[in-house]
C-alpha cells in the first residue's frame, strides 16, 4: 500500500502517466457529491464544526476504500453561519447548483425546520444527526439522532428505578426554545401518567446563553429540600451549561443529593469544564466515547489521527453521522444509483453496525434503532456507563404520550407512504405538520 | 429496608468477630473481594457488610471506592487501591494496606460506583468516622448521617454523642440522631422531641426532614412537624430576600465590569462600540493562554494565574483597542451610524479570528482553589468566586475613578470630552488622547474578561452575551457618568434577581428591558445626565 503510493507519486513527479485508479477517476471526472451543511461560524460553530470534520473523515475513508459505485465521493462544504434562513439558502445551493446526492447537516431544530421545505421541493436527502424533540417525520429526511423515546423517557425511567435513586420530585430545566419545550411537555405528561403529583414537578426556562445561575440553582436547592428525593432533568443547551454546572459545583449540590441528568451535554461540552465537582451527574445518550468496543476504539483512533489531536473527544452526534453515512452508502449500493427516490425506498430496513456493539436499522418512519445509555460524569471528563437498555430502542416519530400525536403513525414504505397517518380517522394528514 | 439488611449482615459479622484470631484477615479479604463481584445491588450489600465488620481497613477501602480509586488487578484478581497520575499508578493492597508495586491503568479493572452506592458509602463512612480524632472529620460525619438518615447509624451515633467533648459537634450529632429517629417507628413522644431538635437547626436540610416527617401517619407528630416546618420556612423566606439582594449585587458587579469599559468608550468618547464584547473575550482568552503557559513553565504558580493574567489582559485588549482607534475609528468620529456598523463588522472579524486560532469549542480556564466553593452567612450561600468578583469590580471602579480624577491623562481625557477645540487650543494632543482613552476602555474590558473567564464559557461568543447588557447599563446609568454606571449596574442586577424567582429568567429579562425603555422615555439621559461631547 505504502510502497504503491510512493511509486505512484514518483511516477507523477516524473511527469509520467498517473497510476491506473487515479487515472480512471481523473479521466471520467465524475464524482458523487455529498453536501455538508453545518455552521462553521457563529454561535453554533462550537458544536457543528466537529460534525463537518467527521463527514470529511468518513468521505475520505470511503474514497480510500474505492469510492462508491466506482466513483469518488466529493465533499461540498458550505457555511450557513448559524443563521437559520441562510440554512435554507445554502441547502438550495447544494441541491440545485452543486447537485449533491445527499446532504448531512443541521443541528438546531430551527435550522432543520428551515431547510425542510427546500428538501421537499427539490426532492433531496438530508441526514439529521442530533437528538431532537420528535413530532416530525418527513420523506426526505432521515433522523439518525435520538427521538424523545430514545433519550428522555429512558433517562427518567432510570432515575425512578432503585439504581437511579427512586426520584420522586422533578425539576425540568431547559433553554427557552422548541426542543426543551416539546421534550418537557412530553416528560411532564409522562411523569403525571406515572403518578407524580403536579406540585412535585418544577419547570424552569432560561434564555440562550444564560450565565447567571445563582438564583435558579438556589431555587432548585429549595425545591429539593421538601423531604423527597429530587432530580434535575436538564435540556439546557450549549454554552449555558458551563456556568450552570460551575454554579452547581460552587453551591455544593452533589450528584448523590440532587443528580442532574442532561440531554445536551456530551464529551465535547465537558471539555470546557473542570469536571471534578460534577462527578456523578448524569447524561443520557446513545453513544459514549468510553464504551469499550473494538469498532468504537478503531473509530476514536482514526478520528484522533485525522484531527491530529490525540486528546480530541468523540460524541453522540458524531456517531449518528457515522451510522447515517454508512446507511446511505449501503442504500446507494443496494439501489445501484444515487437517485433520491430509489435511495429513499432502498434505505428502509438497511442495517449497519453502530459504535456501541449493535446493529442499527433504518425504520419505515425514517428514524433508527439505537441503544440508550446512561453515563455518570467522571473526573477525567468522560462518562462511565451505569445503565443501558437491554436491546435497541426503535425511534418513535410521534409521541404516544401526547394527546395530539398519540394516533399518528409514520411509514414511508409503499404501504402507507405518509409521515403522519391518523390511525383513527384512517387518513394521511399530509404535509404542513 | 437497609435496617433489615444491616441486621442480616450484622449477625455473621458478629459471629466472625467472636471467632476472631487468624481467621480475621481472610474474612476481610472475602469482604473486600465481594466489593468487586456482582452488580450494583450486590455491591451495595457488600459495602454495608464491610462497614459493619468493624475492621480498621474498612474506612480506607470504602473511601477509595467512593473516590473511584479501588481496582481489581486483572492478572491475579487482587483488589488494590491505585493512586497517582500519568501512566503508572502506584498500588496498595486493599486488604493488607501494604505497598503492591505499580501498574498501568490498562492492567487494572476499576470497581465502579454509581450515585446510589456513593450514598451508601457516605452513610457507612459517617458511622465509621464518628470517633475520628479530627474534629472536622467528625463534623462531616455528623452532616453526612443527617443527610443520609440511615437507621443503622443510630447505635454508633449514640456512642459518639456520649463520648463527644466539642459542644458544636455534639449538637450536630444530636441533630443527625433526631433526623434519623423521625424516619424510624419510634414512639410519638420521642419523635416530637426530635422535631424540636431539628427545628432549632433551621436550615434547608432541616426543612426537608420536617416536611418528610409532616407526612407521618401519627396525627400528633404530623401536626408538630407541620408547625415546625412552617416556622423554619418563614425564617428561610426572610433570609431569601437577603439572598436575592446578594445575588443582585453579584450580578450587578458582573454587569459593572462588562459595562465600565464601555462607559469610557461610549460614555465619554461617544463611540458606539459594538466590538466592546470582543475586547472582553480577548481578555478571557488571554487568561487561558496565560494559564496554559504557566502550567507548563511554572506549575507552582497555577493558583495565581488569574492574577498574573490581569495586567497582561489589560495590555492585550488595550493594545488592540489603540490599534482599532488608530486604524478605523478615528476616521469615523461624528458619524455614529458608521462607527456602529464598522465596529459591528469588526466584532465579527475578531470572533472568527479567535475561532480560527483557538478553535470553535470552549476552552477550559480552571478556577484557583481560593475562588471555588462557598460559605454560609446565616442562611445565605456565598460563593467565593462571586465574592471575589464583587471585590474586583469595586477595585477596578475605584482605580478608574482615580485615573480620571487624579492623573494628567484623566485631566486631558475630561478636557477633550468637554470641549475638544478648546483642549486642542491649550496644547493637548487630542488624537493621542483619543487613542489612549479608547485603549483604556478596551483594557478595562480585558480585565472584565479575566473575571468572566471564571464564571462563563471561554468561547468566541463570550462577548456577544454581554454587549446588550453593557449598553443597557451605560444608557440607564447616564452616558458619561461613572457613578451612574455603578448605580445602574447594581440596580439592574438587584431588580433582575428579585424578578427572576417570580417571573422566570426569560420574562424577568423582558420586564427589565421594558422598564428601561419606559425609564429612558422619562429621562432620556439616564440616571445621571452629564455634559460632554456626546451631548453636543
Contact B207 A247 (CB under 8 A): no
Q: Are strands A282-285 and A351-353 parallel, antiparallel or unpaired?
A: unpaired
Quote the pTM value.
0.83
Q: What is the mean pLDDT of residues B22-43?
A: 75
Nearest-angstrom CA–CA distance, B285 and B355: 11
Q: What's the domain range around B179? A: 129-217
List, in sequence order, the alpha helices (H) in A29-151: 45-64, 84-92, 109-122
CB contact under 8 A, B504 and A204: yes
CB contact under 8 A, A227 and B208: yes
Q: How confident is the model at residue B111 (pLDDT cuts 50, 70, 90)?
A: confident
CB A316 within 8 A of CB A287: yes
Burial (CB < 10 A; 0-12, 13-18, 19+), residue A317, is buried
pLDDT of residue A170: 96
Tell me whether residues A43 and B115 touch, CB distance under 8 A: no
Cell output for A417: 407512504
Q: Tell me which range, A203-207, A266-270, B53-57, B210-214, is most confidently predicted by mean pLDDT.
A: A203-207
Q: pLDDT-based confidence at B26, cuts 50/70/90?
A: low
Other C-beta atoms within 10 Å of A262: how many? Answer: 25
The CA-CA-CA angle for residues B458, B462, B467, to 5°, reads 155
Asked whether the beta carbons of A362 and A329 are under 8 A apart, the reply is no
**Residue from B360, B384, B393, B452 whose CB has the most chain A CBs within 10 Å, to mutate:** B360
With CA atoms as reference, the chain A residue closest to B237 would be A222
Interface contact flag, B505 A46, Cβ < 8 Å: no
- Residue appearing with cell numbers 464601555: B262
Cβ distance of B364 and A271 shorter than 8 Å: yes
pLDDT, one tens digit per residue, over A344-365 is 999 999 999 999 989 999 999 9
Chain B interface, mutation test: which of A38, A40, A44, A45, most B Cβ atoms within 10 Å?
A: A45
pLDDT grade for B25, boundaries at 50, 70 and 90: low
The Cα A86–Cα A421 span in angstroms is: 31
Q: What integer pLDDT is reported at residue B3 of this predicted model?
A: 54
Based on the fold, state whether residues B497 and B389 are members of the same structural domain: yes
| Claim to verify: residue B279 and residue B185 sit in the same structural domain | no
Residues B300, B169 share a domain: no
3-state secondary structure (DSSP) of residue A257: coil
Which position has the grid cell 445551493?
A93
pLDDT, tens digit, 9 for 90 and up, residues A363-385: 999 999 999 999 999 888 899 99
Mutation target vs A (from B5, B110, B115, B495; most A CBs, 10 A cutoff): B115
How far is the C-alpha of B61 from the C-alpha of B57, rounded, in Å? 6
| Cα A335 to Cα A345: distance, rounded to the nearest angstrom | 8
What residues of chain A lie within 8 A of the CB of B215, using their CB? Answer: 227
What is the chain B residue with the closest CA to A242? B457
Number of alpha carbons in the 13 Å side-chain half-sphere of residue B248? 22
Domain ranges in chain A? 19-147+293-369, 149-292+373-404
- The alpha carbon of residue B402 is apart from the nearest alpha carbon of chain A, in Å, by 30
How far A324 CA sits from the closest chain B CA (Å)? Answer: 24
Number of folded domains that form chain B? 3
B374 phi and psi angles, rounded to 5 deg: -150, 165
DSSP for B396-455 reads HHHHHHHHHHHSHHHHHHHHHHH-HHHHHHTT--HHHHHHHHHHHHHHHHHHHHHHHTTT
Task: Write out the three cell numbers for B140.
Answer: 462531616
CATH fold match for the domains A19-147+293-369 and A149-292+373-404:
yes
Residue B201 has pLDDT above 80, yes or no: yes
**Which superfamily, per CATH, for A19-147+293-369?**
Response regulator (3.40.50.2300)
d(CA B471, CA A206): 21
The answer, yes or no, to whether residue A191 has pLDDT greater than 50, is yes
| Residues B361 and B495 both lie in one domain | yes
Same domain assignment for residues B56 and B14: yes
CA B157/CA B179 separation, integer angstroms = 12
Indicate if B251 and B356 belong to the same structural domain. Answer: yes
Query: B442 and B332 in one domain?
Result: yes
Chain B residues whose CB is inside 8 A of the A244 CB are: none
CA pair distance B218, B195, nearest whole angstrom? 13
The region of weakest confidence among A326-340, A377-391, A412-426, B25-39 is B25-39
Cβ pair B247:A218 closer than 8 A: yes
pLDDT band at B84 (very low <50, low <70, confident <90, very high): confident
CATH node for A149-292+373-404: 3.40.50.2300
pLDDT tens per residue across span A12-59: 444 433 333 343 444 446 899 999 999 998 878 888 999 999 999 999
Question: Closest residue of B to A45, CA-based?
Answer: B360
> Which residues of B fall within a CB distance of 8 Å from A219?
501
Instruction: List strand residue ranges (DSSP E) for A278-432, in order.
Output: 282-285, 351-353, 359-361, 369-370, 373-377, 383-388, 393-394, 408-411, 418-422, 427-428
Closest-CA residue of chain B to A281 = B115
Nine cell digits for residue B246: 446578594
Query: What mean pLDDT, rounded, does chain A reach?
Result: 88
B314 vs B42, higher pLDDT = B314
**Which of the listed ranges A28-37, A125-134, B184-193 does the model predict with the highest average pLDDT?**
A125-134
Give the confidence band of B530 by pLDDT, cuts at 50, 70, 90: low
Q: Residue B263 burial by CB count (10 A; 0-12/13-18/19+): exposed, middle or buried? A: buried
Q: Are B279 and B418 in contact (CB under 8 A)?
A: no
* A227·B215 Cβ contact <8 A: yes
Mutate to test the interface with B, among A256, A264, A266 (most CBs of B within 10 A): A256
Contact yes or no for A165 and B355 at CB 8 A: no
A386 chain-B contacts, CB cut-off 8 A: 40, 112, 114
Determine the distance in angstroms separating the CA of A241 from the nearest CA of chain B, rounded to an integer.
9
User: Quick one: B207 and B245 in the same domain?
Assistant: no
* B532 assigned to some structural domain: no
Taking only the tens place, the pLDDT of each residue in A215-249 is: 899 889 889 888 789 999 999 987 788 889 888 88
Q: Per-residue confidence at A4, pLDDT binned at 50, 70, 90?
A: very low
- Are A46 and B362 an interchain contact pair (Cβ–Cβ within 8 Å)? yes
Q: Based on the domain organization, do B356 and B387 belong to the same domain? A: yes
Among chain B residues, CA nearest to A269: B362
* Minimum CA–CA partner of B493 in chain A: A212
Taking contacts as CB-CB distances below 8 angstroms, the residues of chain A near B116 are: 162-165
Residue of A218, A225, A280 with shortest CB distance to B115: A280
Size of interface A-B (CB pairs under 8 A): 163
Q: Which helix (H) or strand (E) holds B527?
A: none
d(C-alpha B134, C-alpha A282), whole Å: 33
**What is the percentage of chain A residues whose pLDDT exceeds 70?**
92
What does the pLDDT read at residue A24?
Answer: 40
- List, as one string, the DSSP characters of B169-185: HHHHHHHHHHHHHHHTT
pLDDT at B86: 67
- B429: pLDDT strictly greater than 60: yes
Q: Is residue B288 part of a domain?
A: yes
> In this structure, what C-alpha cell is assigned to residue B108?
487494572
Task: Report long-range pairs for B215-220 (Cβ below 8 Å, ≥24 apart).
Answer: B215/A227, B216/B182, B216/B191, B218/B188, B218/B191, B220/B188, B220/B192
Mutation choice for A interface testing from B106, B114, B504 by most A CBs within 10 A: B114
- Chain segment A138-187, per-residue pLDDT in tens: 999 999 999 999 999 999 999 999 888 899 999 999 999 889 999 999 99
Helix and strand counts by DSSP (H, E) for chain A: 13, 19
| Cα A154 from Cα A194, distance rounded (Å) | 13
- Number of Cβ within 10 Å of residue B77's Cβ equals 10
Would you state the pLDDT for residue B8? Answer: 54
Q: Is residue B191 part of a domain?
A: yes
Could you tell me if residue B509 is inside a domain? yes
**pLDDT single digits (tens) A253-286:** 888 889 999 998 888 888 767 788 788 899 999 9
Distance from C-alpha of A248 to C-alpha of A242, rounded to nearest angstrom: 10
For A432, the enclosing helix (H) or strand (E) is: none
Considering only the beta carbons, identify the residue of B118, B359, B364 that sits closest to A273. Answer: B364
Reference B256, options B527, B534, B469, B526; nearest CA is B469
Query: Do residues A88 and A37 lie in contact, with contact meaning Cβ atoms separated by under 8 Å?
Result: no
pLDDT at B142 over 90: no
B197 and B262 belong to one structural domain: no
Has residue B534 got a pLDDT over 60? no
Amino acid at each position: 500500500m505504502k510502497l504503491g503510493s510512493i511509486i505512484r507519486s514518483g511516477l507523477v513527479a516524473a511527469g509520467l502517466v498517473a497510476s491506473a485508479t487515479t487515472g480512471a477517476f481523473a479521466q471520467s471526472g465524475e464524482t458523487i457529491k455529498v453536501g455538508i451543511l453545518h455552521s462553521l461560524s457563529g454561535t453554533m460553530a462550537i458544536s457543528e464544526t466537529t460534525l463537518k470534520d467527521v463527514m470529511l473523515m468518513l468521505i475520505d475513508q470511503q474514497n480510500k476504500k474505492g469510492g462508491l459505485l466506482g466513483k469518488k465521493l466529493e465533499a461540498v462544504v458550505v457555511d450557513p453561519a448559524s443563521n437559520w434562513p441562510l440554512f435554507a439558502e445554502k441547502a438550495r445551493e447544494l441541491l440545485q447548483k452543486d447537485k449533491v446526492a445527499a446532504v448531512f447537516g443541521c443541528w438546531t431544530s430551527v435550522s432543520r425546520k428551515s431547510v425542510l421545505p427546500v428538501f421537499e421541493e427539490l426532492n433531496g436527502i438530508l441526514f439529521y444527526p442530533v437528538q431532537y424533540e420528535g413530532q416530525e417525520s418527513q420523506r426526505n429526511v432521515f433522523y439518525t439522532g435520538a427521538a424523545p423515546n430514545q433519550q428522555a423517557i429512558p433517562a427518567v425511567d432510570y432515575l425512578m428505578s432503585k439504581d437511579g435513586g427512586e426520584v420522586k420530585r422533578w425539576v425540568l430545566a431547559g433553554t427557552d426554545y422548541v426542543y426543551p419545550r416539546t421534550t418537557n411537555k412530553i416528560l411532564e405528561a409522562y411523569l403525571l401518567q406515572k403518578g407524580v403529583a403536579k406540585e412535585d414537578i418544577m419547570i424552569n426556562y432560561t434564555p440562550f446563553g444564560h450565565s447567571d445561575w445563582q438564583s435558579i440553582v438556589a431555587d432548585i436547592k429549595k425545591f429539593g429540600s421538601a423531604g423527597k428525593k429530587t432530580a434535575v432533568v436538564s435540556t439546557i443547551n450549549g454554552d449555558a451549561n458551563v456556568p450552570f454546572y460551575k454554579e452547581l459545583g460552587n453551591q455544593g449540590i452533589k450528584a448523590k443529593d440532587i443528580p442532574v441528568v442532561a440531554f445536551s451535554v456530551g464529551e465535547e461540552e465537558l471539555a470546557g469544564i473542570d469536571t471534578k465537582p460534577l462527578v456523578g451527574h448524569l447524561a443520557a445518550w446513545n453513544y459514549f466515547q468510553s464504551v469499550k468496543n473494538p469498532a468504537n476504539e478503531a473509530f476514536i483512533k482514526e478520528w484522533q489521527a485525522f484531527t491530529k489531536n490525540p486528546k480530541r473527544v468523540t460524541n453522540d452526534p458524531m456517531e449518528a453521522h457515522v451510522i447515517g453515512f454508512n446507511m446511505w452508502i449501503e442504500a446507494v449500493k443496494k439501489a445501484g444509483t444515487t437517485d433520491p427516490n430509489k435511495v429513499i425506498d432502498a434505505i428502509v430496513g438497511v442495517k449497519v453496525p453502530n459504535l456501541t456493539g449493535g446493529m442499527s436499522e433504518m425504520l419505515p418512519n425514517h428514524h433508527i434503532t439505537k441503544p440508550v445509555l446512561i453515563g455518570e460524569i467522571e473526573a477525567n471528563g468522560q462518562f462511565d456507563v451505569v445503565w443501558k437498555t437491554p436491546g435497541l430502542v426503535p425511534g418513535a416519530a410521534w409521541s404516544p404520550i401526547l394527546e395530539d400525536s398519540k394516533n399518528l403513525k409514520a411509514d414511508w414504505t409503499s404501504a402507507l407512504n405518509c409521515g403522519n397517518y391518523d390511525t383513527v380517522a384512517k387518513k394521511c394528514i399530509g404535509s404542513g405538520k | 429496608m437497609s435496617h433489615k439488611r444491616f441486621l442480616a449482615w450484622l449477625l455473621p459479622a458478629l459471629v466472625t468477630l467472636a471467632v476472631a484470631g487468624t481467621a480475621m484477615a481472610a474474612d476481610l479479604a472475602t469482604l473486600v473481594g465481594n466489593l468487586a463481584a456482582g452488580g450494583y445491588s450486590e455491591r451495595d450489600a457488600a459495602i454495608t457488610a464491610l462497614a459493619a465488620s468493624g475492621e480498621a481497613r474498612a474506612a480506607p477501602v470504602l473511601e477509595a471506592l467512593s473516590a473511584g480509586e479501588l481496582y481489581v488487578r486483572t492478572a491475579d484478581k487482587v483488589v488494590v487501591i491505585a493512586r497517582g497520575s500519568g501512566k503508572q499508578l502506584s498500588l496498595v493492597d486493599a486488604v493488607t494496606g501494604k505497598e503492591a508495586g505499580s501498574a498501568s491503568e490498562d492492567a487494572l479493572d476499576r470497581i465502579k460506583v454509581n450515585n446510589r452506592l456513593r450514598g451508601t458509602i457516605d452513610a457507612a463512612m459517617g458511622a465509621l468516622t464518628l470517633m475520628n480524632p479530627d474534629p472536622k472529620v467528625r463534623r462531616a460525619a455528623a452532616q453526612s448521617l443527617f443527610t443520609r438518615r440511615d437507621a443503622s447509624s443510630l447505635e454508633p451515633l449514640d456512642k459518639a454523642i456520649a463520648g463527644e467533648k466539642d459542644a458544636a459537634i455534639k449538637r450536630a450529632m444530636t441533630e443527625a440522631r433526631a433526623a434519623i429517629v423521625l424516619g424510624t417507628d419510634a414512639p410519638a413522644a420521642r419523635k416530637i422531641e426530635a422535631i424540636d431538635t431539628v427545628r432549632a437547626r433551621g436550615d434547608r436540610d432541616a426543612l426537608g426532614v420536617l416536611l418528610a416527617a409532616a407526612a407521618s401517619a401519627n396525627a400528633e407528630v404530623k401536626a408538630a412537624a407541620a408547625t415546625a416546618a412552617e416556622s423554619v420556612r418563614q425564617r428561610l423566606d426572610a433570609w431569601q430576600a437577603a439572598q436575592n439582594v446578594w445575588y443582585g449585587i453579584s450580578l450587578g458587579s458582573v454587569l459593572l465590569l462588562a459595562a465600565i469599559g464601555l462607559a469610557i468608550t461610549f460614555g465619554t468618547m461617544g463611540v458606539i462600540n459594538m466590538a466592546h464584547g470582543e475586547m472582553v473575550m480577548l481578555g478571557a482568552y488571554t487568561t487561558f493562554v496565560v494559564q496554559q503557559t504557566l502550567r507548563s513553565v511554572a506549575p507552582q504558580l497555577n493558583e495565581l494565574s488569574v492574577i498574573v493574567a490581569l495586567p497582561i489582559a489589560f495590555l492585550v485588549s488595550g493594545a488592540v483597542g489603540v490599534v482599532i482607534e488608530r486604524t478605523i475609528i478615528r476616521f469615523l468620529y461624528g458619524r455614529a451610524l458608521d462607527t456602529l456598523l464598522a465596529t459591528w463588522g469588526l466584532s465579527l472579524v475578531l470572533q472568527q479570528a479567535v475561532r480560527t486560532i483557538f478553535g470553535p469549542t470552549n476552552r477550559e480556564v480552571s478556577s484557583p482553589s481560593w475562588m471555588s466553593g462557598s460559605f454560609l452567612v446565616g442562611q445565605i450561600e456565598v460563593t467565593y468566586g462571586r465574592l471575589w468578583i464583587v471585590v474586583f469590580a469595586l477595585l477596578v471602579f475605584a482605580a478608574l475613578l482615580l485615573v480620571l480624577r487624579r492623573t494628567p491623562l484623566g485631566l486631558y481625557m475630561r478636557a477633550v470630552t468637554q470641549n475638544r477645540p478648546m483642549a486642542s487650543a491649550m496644547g493637548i494632543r487630542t488624537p493621542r488622547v483619543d487613542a489612549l482613552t479608547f485603549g483604556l476602555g478596551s483594557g478595562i474590558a480585558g480585565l472584565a474578561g479575566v473575571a468572566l473567564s471564571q464564571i462563563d464559557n471561554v468561547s468566541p461568543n463570550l462577548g456577544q452575551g454581554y454587549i446588550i447588557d453593557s449598553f443597557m447599563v451605560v444608557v440607564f446609568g447616564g452616558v458619561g457618568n461613572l457613578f451612574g454606571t455603578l448605580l445602574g449596574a447594581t440596580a439592574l442586577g438587584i431588580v433582575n434577581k428579585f424578578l427572576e424567582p417570580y417571573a422566570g429568567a426569560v420574562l424577568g429579562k423582558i420586564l427589565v428591558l421594558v422598564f428601561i425603555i419606559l425609564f429612558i422615555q422619562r429621562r432620556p439621559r439616564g440616571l445621571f445626565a452629564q455634559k460632554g461631547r456626546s451631548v453636543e
